[in-house]
A and B are shown apart, each in its own frame.
Chain A
Amino acid sequence: MQKRDLDHWFVSKVLPLEPLLVRFLRRNWRDVSEISDLRQEVYARTYESAVGGIPAQVKPFIFKIARNLMIDHLRRRQVVSIDSIADLEALNVPTEEVDVERQVSAREELRMLQQALNNVPSRARDVIVLRKVEGLSQREVAERMGITEDTVERQLSNGIRFLAEALLDTDIATGRAGIAIRARKKAEEE
């Protein structure tokens, strides 16, 4: 399998499940500060497992990886509390909500992006607005704001991270997990 194809599969099939995955991790992992580490580890394991062949069913595949990862982490700890073991034994992939997928319109997607954008710090948000809404290049953004191009680049890289987190929160809060697949598929067709 080519890296390119694998990348494409990962972006179009795995990433849209992020809200579901993160909600699953949050429910079953006590330390909130470790959630993003776990998430990225699940991604890395998913990607590496798919090198040998792409799974037919993505959702059960990544939830199984997530579950095993959490168990591995607990086993590696010196002290494991009894209730966390019990929790993990009972830990099943939440199939009923996994299936809650619905089509999202371009307009809903836009509204979510805007909502997420409002949670990005103002300076980074200004840069993103000028870059994406007004369609200016980074150089033009620098001129418009009277700052250096390097500052624009720095603000933009901050902004991308904030935007990713904010979008995740928006997706989770609105219960619209799994929607992005359709939205992106539509965008590709257009």
Chain B
Amino acid sequence: MTDDIENRAAQWIAREDRSSWSAADQAVLDAWLEESTLHRVAYLRLSSTWKRADRLAALRLATLAVGERPRRRSFLTAACLVAAAIIGTSTLYALWPRDVYETAIGGHRTVDLADGSTIELNTDTRVRTLVTDTERKVVLEQGEAYFQVKHDAFRPFVVLAGNRRITDLGTKFSVRRDGDRVEVTVSEGRVRVDNIDRPNAAPPVLARKDVQVLASANSTLVTERTPTQIGDALGWRKGILIFHQEPLSEAVAEFNRYNAKKLVVVGASLSQTRIGGSFEVSNVEAFARLLRDGFGFKIEETDSEIRISE
């Protein structure tokens, strides 16, 4: 009984905390509170907890010491020292990853982390990292990255992408994220993939070498691959895209990840044309020429796009 009421009360507090809270919402909440004193006391109790947590704001100064260079140095340095003295250093860092690394469209860079692991960022990618004595955490906010993890049993390496958590079990792997869709490609060792929104809905997936895991919302697909296919999926690391008789629409979507000048396919039948071969990611003009010369398609180029039609 208490469980249900507390759930409802917590939901109300979380909703109230949103910026979209309206007078109508308030009226519904008031009615719920009037319904029963048990509702009211549960609400008062949890909202008092939530207010008590406001005090956590004091940690903000402390976290500035990690990764960010404060602009007003003298004042903030002093504040950091005070904050660090108050809360101690061990828990000080147990916070959200704040070191940001990113690439623009067409970009490609390798980041060396303090623990000896490396992250290779593909085009239009953004990650946040946190490496401390007790944890290693990377948030893949968008794009694709290849991880070469220095194994450390006491300090798991965790990648968060959408609602998936990928935990390294000593390995090399890549993670690609398109909104909710998360693709994990393992080229060495093993990783564990779990759904953090619904941890009990399904057991975590253990993926070893030459396996691809495709996760979207709450479904997970595990596919065996040949080493060649895995190599192809990681072709971007060498700056190439490899297609095996894929529909033109998909090949074009891949190219468009890397280039500001977008390819546009006109016509449904055209987009089903199968394409194979390997191409330089940045040489979209060469790809367009091949379509013209090889398939006889019409190519029109403007400043912002290349239109492909029959």
Contact = CB atoms under 8 A, between A and B. Distances in A.
Interface in B1-23: 1-3, 5-7, 10-11, 13-15, 17-19
B122 interface: no
Interface string B159-196: 00011000000000000010000000000000000001
B161 to A, nearest CB: 8
B7 A161 contact: yes
A57 to B, nearest CB: 20
Contacts of B46: 160-161, 164
A132 B96 contact: no
Nearest to B142: A146
Contact of B162 (A109, A111, A146): A146
A147 B162 contact: yes
A138 B49 contact: no
B38 A132 contact: no
A146 to B, nearest CB: 5
**Tier of interface size on chain A:** 35 or more
Given A123-B196, A130-B96, A7 B7 contact: no
B86 A107 contact: yes
Nearest to B82: A107
A98 interface: no
B253 interface: no
A154 to B, nearest CB: 7
Q: Is the interface of A mostly helix, strand, loop or mixed?
A: helix
Contacts of B37: 44, 47-48
B5 to A, nearest CB: 7
Contacts of B59: 110, 114, 133
B45 interface: yes
Contacts of A36: 2-3, 6
A113 B55 contact: yes
A157 B10 contact: yes
Interface stretch (B87-95, B106-114, B256-264): B87-95
A146 B141 contact: yes
B117 to A, nearest CB: 20
A177 interface: no
Contact of B55 (A149, A154, A187): A187
Contacts of B177: 146
A164 B55 contact: no
B91 A154 contact: no
Given A11-B44, A40-B42, A133 B60 contact: yes
Contacts of A131: 17
Interface in A126-171: 126, 128-135, 137-139, 144-147, 149, 151, 153-154, 156-158, 160-161, 163-164, 167
A68 interface: no
B19 A111 contact: no
A160 B10 contact: yes
B96 A157 contact: no
18 contacts: A7-B40, A40-B38, A40-B41, A43-B41, A47-B41, A113-B52, A114-B87, A129-B95, A138-B18, A146-B142, A146-B177, A153-B11, A153-B15, A157-B14, A160-B46, A160-B49, A164-B49, A180-B52
Interface of B: 1-3, 5-7, 10-11, 13-15, 17-19, 36-38, 40-42, 44-46, 48-50, 52-60, 63, 86-87, 91, 94-96, 139, 141-142, 162-163, 177, 196-197
Closest 9 CB pairs of A and B: A157-B14, A43-B41, A157-B10, A164-B49, A44-B37, A156-B14, A132-B56, A160-B10, A37-B2
Given A146-B162, A161-B7, A161-B10, 5 more contacts: A15-B44, A40-B5, A44-B37, A123-B197, A139-B19
